[in-house]
Structure 1
Amino acid sequence: MKDKFLSVIKLLRIEQWIKNMFVFGPILFSNNIFNSGMIEKSFTAFIAFCFISSCVYIMNDIVDREKDRKHPKKCNRPIASGKVQVFEAIILAVILAGESFIIAFSINKYLVLIILLYLVNNVLYSFKIKNVVLLDVFSIGIGFILRVLAGSFAIGVKTSSWILLCTLFLSLFLGFGKRRNEVIVLGEDAKEHRKNLSQYNEKLLDQIINIVLACTIVFYAIYCVVGTGDQNFIWTTILVLFGILRYYYLMYSKGQGGNPTELVIRDKQLSFCVIFWIICSAGIMNF
């Protein structure tokens, strides 16, 4: 019974919920960080996204279970290893999706729409887009934009277009970095695990990564200058640049990047950089 419970918890990918922190972006940048009502709504939207994202992970694991069994690491996932049966996973996914929509509806209809769009985007990703070169990573990027929009609609504030662009290009940087890691680690067997990996190569991905990295930094700097109304915010660019270069270093010098969430959590310098950036951004925007 204990093993089954632990397998179900593992299936939820709770460690990946950190991605849903993007929901708090709008309240951080809107001078409302001390507004208890907005904090409550942002947290509610965060919970809704945690449930729907776990639903999506379960759906992906069901679809990819045969391929995962051949993967050196993914073979240990609950469904691929047989610790959780497919019908059990389906029931859990339906419950999570239902709870997510109920929670979203308690905020407003716009949040329900964002959750629905996120689900549709991921269904398309699981069954089609994941095998389409370039579009697969852009689909992931759309998921992060929807997280930010969820936070925006939850509290009723408009999010800067520059922030949305920064979110998109940062997610593309992480996504293409992950593809690069898969191409290198899996080698000639890469296409057996993901069809479109045969269309990627290390040189192409290196060029794409450099382009989206540059765009991320430039767009963030532009936002700091024209989108915040506070000239002091430009200094947070230093933290953003350090964080991105630290990740770049770990990806190219240490062969990491296959799991961005895990890397950000485990690397002390990255973790400190993210936390310090949040503190500085909140301080500048709200004091």
Structure 2
Amino acid sequence: MKLVIVSGLSGSGKSIALDTLEDCGYYCIDNLPVTLLEDFVDHVMLKDPATYSKTAIGIDARNRNQKLADFPDSLSSIRNKGIDCELVYMEADENIILKRYSETRRRHPLTTESRPLREALEIEREMLRPVATRADIVIDTSFTHYHQLRDLLKNRLGEKGKSSLSILFQSFGFKYGIPLDADFVFDARSLPNPYWAPELRGLTGKHAEVIDFLQNEVIVKEFLHDIGYFIGRWAPRFESDNRSYLTIAIGCTGGQHRSVYLVEALSKHFQTITPNVIVRHRELR
């Protein structure tokens, strides 16, 4: 039986995650009290495994602080019952969440007449610390739009292979910040930059002209070879250690040329080795 627990900051995309899992065949419950978590497993999931073979439960700061502190014990107890349980924790940059609330005009569950939104977010982050520290997967949605998040979750949880490691290759621009959910970050800013060629500036690493430019550079070939060798050598070690997901982030200055080319090249290579390869270009819109 499979149980996915989705938690995280308000405004980080938990509702989208649950909707996506529901589309993937999960029976979904939002805002289940932590005190009922073990009872639900014992008296609902285990009593009717056919109906609840794939279940997703949302847990957030609407639980009381003390109940959230008891969450690690409940999680351990559930796993001891033989349930395949994964905990997904979602977060985003504070300023991004503030902007989302401003755009939607929704009320944060912890705000009051005397407690502003920023203070509520700080309290929420501290309340959820016992959950966040136990997470199997941390997803930062600061620069992820609706469809990207759905695709990412479908690949990682809804349709992932059970017997092989899922590798996410992600390009990004350092000028916009480093992805918080990356396992490894590689810096490609020392490589020749197509941006300085006027005819290539408006293109991306997916265009043939940029690909030709970078493929003809020896240092780019060496960089690509070294990263591929590193991942090929160490990915099986992660898999043997029961890791299901590995995120490889490659950055250049703006996330348009070098990092995109490298991610595309690496993904094509590893797709011949494992079927669970995901590609994401954060800065390409």
User: TM-score surpassing 0.5?
Assistant: no
Greater CA radius of gyration, 1 or 2?
2
Higher fraction of strand: 2
Higher fraction of helix: 1
Q: TM-score, normalised by structure 2?
A: 0.26
Q: TM-score, normalised by structure 1?
A: 0.26
